Structure 1
């Protein structure tokens, strides 16, 4: 783990305006050294000015101690060093002050102005001092040495600290920008992780919804017809044994068809079609319940003497609608089919959705309007396919004698989700005559 800029800032703490104790100790030491230097140079200043030496020492100590505030007020420190330059003291304070000023966040014009003032003051003082030393005969050199020495000393006292301070300030700003960038990247990564978790949760929810919808479509219709035939079988078992055998065979066929479709769904879930293993695992309880129910129904039908198992396909399509209506008719429903337009093939998901809409609508008729006459209409249009399932009000006698079938309340919701997922339109509701109508339009592309 790396330390970000925020953690780096909060980890610091020092007295006063210092961010760290180490900085406070360093500045105190520099201020003490500057005070000693200025105090020592104050003796000569007092001698030249004709004042008591104690006054010069006190003045030098006070002036040199100003270096302690270099981090908070670097301009003030540089101005003090410029002010005491004519007294030929404060060289350490001037160097450290210029370095601190150049490393600060102050505008470049202020830094340049103060550095120029310091250079000019140092140049004048050094020029006068070297000239006086040569006049006293201390140095035996030509006149060229005075400007050369004064310029060299002034440049040496101002240029290095300013350049070093600018370098350190630039490096510090670069480090701060890198820390801020690291903080920003860390926040972005955290946000991406949260969004990824949200998307994963959403995908798991969508997968559970999809599996529940598939299970409902596969099981509800078949089992509903099985319950209807079982009720009819119970009614005619003693009166008409031959009809009871036919009903038992139908129950077995439907149970095996439901089991076949469940096995196909299990094969898709187990094949690993790109979905996350955790999402597939979430479907296991739902699938297990459906398989167990269908297997039990199939075994019960086999005991009554069932027919052959239909071949497994890739999924239902519109060509299977006739068989679907035949099963409903065999269960006692009066149903007719009308087809408009030229029959043609569509994409697999479109045909499966259209088939499931008709299947679920017929299942609802078996559940809630047993014995009602039902009309199924399919319309093949240029750019879409439309389907409508409408039932008339159920006869009172048939309604009273119909087997009670439980309803989960998810059939219409599942149909709507399927149709809307393909960009279609789904409408359902009661009719004025007392029946119920389910309509859907799906784009052909």
Structure 2
């Protein structure tokens, strides 16, 4: 196919296309071969004109035209081989035939055409060589070598002239196609690696977002409940400080205990995030699978070190000490669960009690836990805030993320979460977690 203008070579540099040649050295090579072939055919054309008894200039001109066809070998190798076959009876065009067959075999021409033209060239060469041998034997003074001599020697010469360029051209063509296939495969792999890198970056960003969300949820669960109880006790301390000093001292001690517990839980959670004593953070390439594995490991470590269902009774006791009326009912056989289930169940009860402290101070609360065959269910329901009577107002702020965090925790384990107001004016939080035994 003819190409003009500019194109890029394998190194990426822009080169000018010369007609059907891709590079300047290809032009120089084919032009040089054409000149040599034309000179050879001109000499052989002169001898042919002498043998055929027609004017010498015609033979030389015929040889020049026939030999110069080699310049078109990249453009039309079939035409070059056909010309070489056509001038074979004149005993000219050896370089033309040799280079033409090589170019034909190395090109993208169908194999059947290559085979047909190769056989034609082989037959033509065999006939010309046979006639030449026969003439040489007839003109020699030696005795007749036998009927087998001329066909055998003609076959050797014809095969020797046709087979080497044909095989070499087939080898070069196959190697060129292999290199192109490998280059295309390398380009395809490079594109796939680029896509994988983009996906890895997206998954890493997703993992970082999930980890930040988990840390924020843990911080909310740890801080909100403890600090809410501390604020409630501080409000009660302010209300009874002058009337009942002993109760004020007791409330102050509870506030201190709550603060210490909150600090302890914060230290335990932050310890999971540390890389180690004296270890400086470094930015290193991390495999894609390690991103999710690291987040999962951190979450699992935090779950193992976190609270469990057995701590729900202490949680209820802390709310009772803050003046809340809380009833705890447990149904079914108590057993151990996986750390994720244990912590999620605890956090649901904790957040529900925290919301009661914030929005319904003094309301009566009912906490129910049901241990079933393949699940654990919990329900936290409080009465109307008016039932609080004269409970002190702690004026606790609300970020609005408590119910969202509970829902994310429960749904993340494949459970069911429902929350909403009751007909009596209170609020109910229900959750069911599928679970298996921890051991």
What band does the TM-score fall into relative to the shorter chain? 0.7 to 0.9
Task: Tell me the CA shift for residue 334 of structure 1.
Answer: 2.3
Return the match for 1:61 from 61, 64, 67. 64
In the alignment of these two chains, the number of paired residues is: 405
Task: Return the alpha-carbon distance in structure 2 between the equivalents of residues 248 and 377 of structure 1.
Answer: 30
Cα–Cα, structure 1 residues 316 and 171, in superposed 2: closer, same or farther, change >3 Å?
A: same
In structure 2, C-alpha distance between the alignment counterparts of 1:8 and 1:209, rounded to whole Å: 48
Instruction: Give the whole-Å Cα distance in 1 for the aligned partners of 2:24 and 2:104.
Output: 21
Shift of 1:128: 1.9
The verdict on how the C-alpha distance between 1:138 and 1:185 changes in structure 2, with shifts beyond 3 A counting, is farther
- Distance in 2 (alpha carbons) for counterparts of 1:36 and 1:316: 98
1:106 is paired with a residue whose SS is coil
Matches of 2:119 and 2:58, distance apart in 1: 30
Distance 1:9 1:125 in 2: 49
Match 1:257 to one of 258, 261, 270? 261
Q: From 15, 36, 40, give the equivalent of 1:37.
A: 40
Classify 1:278/1:203 alpha carbon distance in 2 versus 1 (closer, same or farther; 3 Å): farther
- Alpha-carbon shift at residue 429 of structure 1 (Å): 2.2
TM (norm. structure 1) is: 0.83
Secondary structure of 1:338's aligned partner: strand
Given that 1:370 and 1:399 are in contact with CA atoms closer than 8 Å, whether structure 2 keeps it comes out as no
**Deviation for aligned residue 1:63:** 1.5
Alignment of 1:183-332 (within 5 A): 183-270=187-274, 314-332=305-323
Whether the 8 Å contact between 1:369 and 1:393 is mirrored in structure 2 is yes
Unaligned runs of 5+ in 1: 280-312
The equivalent residue for 1:379 is 370
User: 1:317–1:348: 8 Å Cα contact kept in structure 2?
Assistant: yes
Q: Distance in 2 between matches of 1:219 and 1:72?
A: 81
| Match in the other structure for 1:434 | 425
Q: Is 1:443 the equivalent of 2:429?
A: no
Mapping 1:374-413, distance limit 5 Å: 374-395=365-386, 402-413=393-404
1:157 corresponds to: 161
Given candidates 337, 348, 357, the residue that maps to 2:348 is: 357
SS of 2:370's equivalent in the other structure is: strand
Determine the C-alpha separation between the residues in 2 that align with 1:329 and 1:6: 82
Q: Please state whether the residue corresponding to 2:419 is helix, strand or coil.
A: strand
Q: 2:177 aligns with which of 173, 177, 180?
A: 173
Retained in 1: the 8 A contact 2:361–2:388? no
**Distance across 1 between alignment mates of 2:425 and 2:418:** 17
CA shift for structure 1 position 271: 6.3
Please list the CA deviations of residues 222-247 of structure 1 after superposition, one character each: whole Å capped at 9, or x if unmatched.
00111111122222222332222222
| Deviates most, 92-101 or 162-171 | 162-171
8 A Cα contact 1:372 1:392, kept in partner: yes
| Pair 1:37–1:139, CA change in 2 (3 A) | farther
Q: Is the 8 A contact 2:45 2:59 kept in 1?
A: yes
Gapped runs of 5+ residues in structure 2?
Answer: 1-7, 284-303
1:88 aligns with 2:91: yes
CA contact (8 A) 1:367 1:406 kept: yes
Distance 1:349 1:6, change over 3 A: farther
Provide the C-alpha distance between the structure 2 equivalents of 1:6 and 1:383, rounded to a whole number of angstroms: 67
RMSD across aligned positions (CA): 2.7
TM-score (norm 2): 0.84
